[in-house]
């Protein structure tokens, strides 16, 4: 089963670019500077920010459904991110070397299962999940911190 892992569209955050720290803080957003790599995973580019690079930290609704499975948590976005990443049948850098939790959702946004990958085999687990007919899409989360990493869908045939 072929899959696509996509970053969040950069256009959702362009209204934050160029704001002062005080303006960002009024919106519940913090500007930080990446001080290690890995450590500041951008949800647009699906890469870790470089040391010294500015990032924005804010709460993001990753699963916008009208159900108990609605979900939001803190994420980082590189302040200069302009184009969302798209990976076909491969893992983006932010999912390599990190424990990843998968949440499997049906077309109505209800949880249909979950899985955890600590070392290797994430691609295999993604493929197996998408082979289940009731699964419409997956959400990947960093298992340790719980933050949303990316959405995963079947690739168009």
Please give the average per-residue pLDDT across 18-24, as a whole number. 97
For 6, residues 6+ apart whose C-beta sits below 8 A from its C-beta are: 84, 85, 86, 87, 150, 151, 153
* Angle, CA of 59, 60 and 66, to the nearest 5°: 120
pLDDT at 156 over 90: no
116/124 Cα distance (integer angstroms): 12
Q: Pick the more confident residue, 2 or 156.
A: 2
Confidence of residue 115 (pLDDT cuts 50, 70, 90): very high
Q: What is the mean pLDDT of the chain?
A: 96
149 pLDDT higher than 90 = yes
Residue 157: is its pLDDT beyond 80? no
The per-residue pLDDT for 8 is: 97
Mean of the pLDDT values across residues 113-124? 94
- Tens digit of pLDDT for each residue in 48-95? 999 999 999 999 999 999 999 999 999 999 999 999 999 999 999 999
Q: Print burial letters for 68-98: b (CB count within 10 Å at least 16), e (below 16).
A: eeebeeebbbbbebeebbebeeebbbbbeeb
Per-residue pLDDT tens over the stretch 28-53: 999 999 999 999 999 999 999 999 99
């Amino acid at each position: 089963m072929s899959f696509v892992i996509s970053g969040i569209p950069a256009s959702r955050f362009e209204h934050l670019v160029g704001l002062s720290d005080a303006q960002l803080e009024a919106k519940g957003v913090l500007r930080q500077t990446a001080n290690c790599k890995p450590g500041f995973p951008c949800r647009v580019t699906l890469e870790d920010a470089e040391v010294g690079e500015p990032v924005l930290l804010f709460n993001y609704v990753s699963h916008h459904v009208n159900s108990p499975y609605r979900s939001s948590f803190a994420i980082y976005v590189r302040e200069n991110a302009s184009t969302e990443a798209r990976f076909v049948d491969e893992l983006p850098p932010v999912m390599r070397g990190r424990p990843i939790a998968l949440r499997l959702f049906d077309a109505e946004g209800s949880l249909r299962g979950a899985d955890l990958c600590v070392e290797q085999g994430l691609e295999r687990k993604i493929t197996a999940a998408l082979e289940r007919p009731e699964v419409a899409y997956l959400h990947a989360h960093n298992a340790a911190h719980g933050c949303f990493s990316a959405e995963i869908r079947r690739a168009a045939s």
